[in-house]
């Protein structure tokens, strides 16, 4: 029996730029929505050029520019609420998208592409549906 090992290797291929832009937009939309819910809409957060299509790469994270301490504090604050946790995950996803676009949309566990449908519904998803399912099954049994 011949082995299929050679064809098993997963190729790292970035998703098309168009898709990245789509998810960037989705993430920024979600972010805006959560921020409103949090009542935490400060100047820095609100500086996204509204309606100005395209130039979103100019969008900067105030958190990323501060030290780790500030980030940890922000994280502690955010993790105190469900919306805050959600916001944190969105920010993390945006950071991934800007810094490692070729890794965006890849499952953090198995490295496979997360399906477009899943990412569209959950743009901050880090795991593919199989890995997520497995994680949740594990939790239920724990």
d(CA 39, CA 2): 60
Nearer to Zn ion, 13 or 17 (CB): 13
**Shortest reach from residue 123's CB to Zn ion, in Å:** 17
Is residue 128 within 8 A of residue 112, CB to CB? The reply is yes
What is the closest distance, in whole angstroms, from the C-beta atom of residue 36 to Zn ion in the complex?
32
CB of 111 to Zn ion, least distance (A): 7
Given the complex with Zn ion, which of 93 and 128 has the nearer CB atom?
A: 128
Nearest residue (CB) to Zn ion, 10 versus 57:
10
Cα-based distances in Å from 56 to 25, 26, 67: 8, 12, 23
Residues contributing to the site for Zn ion (CB under 5 A): 107, 109-110, 128, 131
Q: Which residues, 6+ apart, have CB-to-CB distance to 20 below 8 Å?
A: 14, 97, 101, 104
């Amino acid at each position: 029996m011949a082995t299929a090992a050679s064809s098993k290797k997963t190729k790292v291929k970035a998703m098309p730029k168009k898709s990245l832009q789509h998810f960037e937009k989705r993430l920024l939309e979600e972010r805006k929505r959560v921020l409103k819910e949090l009542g935490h809409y400060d100047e820095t957060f609100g500086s996204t050029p509204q309606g100005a299509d395209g130039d979103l790469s100019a969008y900067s994270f105030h958190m990323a520019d501060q030290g780790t301490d500030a980030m940890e504090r922000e994280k502690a604050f955010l993790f105190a609420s469900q919306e805050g946790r959600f916001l944190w995950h969105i920010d993390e996803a945006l950071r991934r998208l800007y810094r490692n676009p070729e890794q965006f949309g890849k499952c953090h566990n198995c490295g496979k592409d997360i399906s477009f449908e899943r990412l569209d519904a959950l743009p901050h998803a880090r795991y593919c549906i199989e890995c997520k399912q497995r994680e949740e099954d594990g939790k239920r049994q724990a």
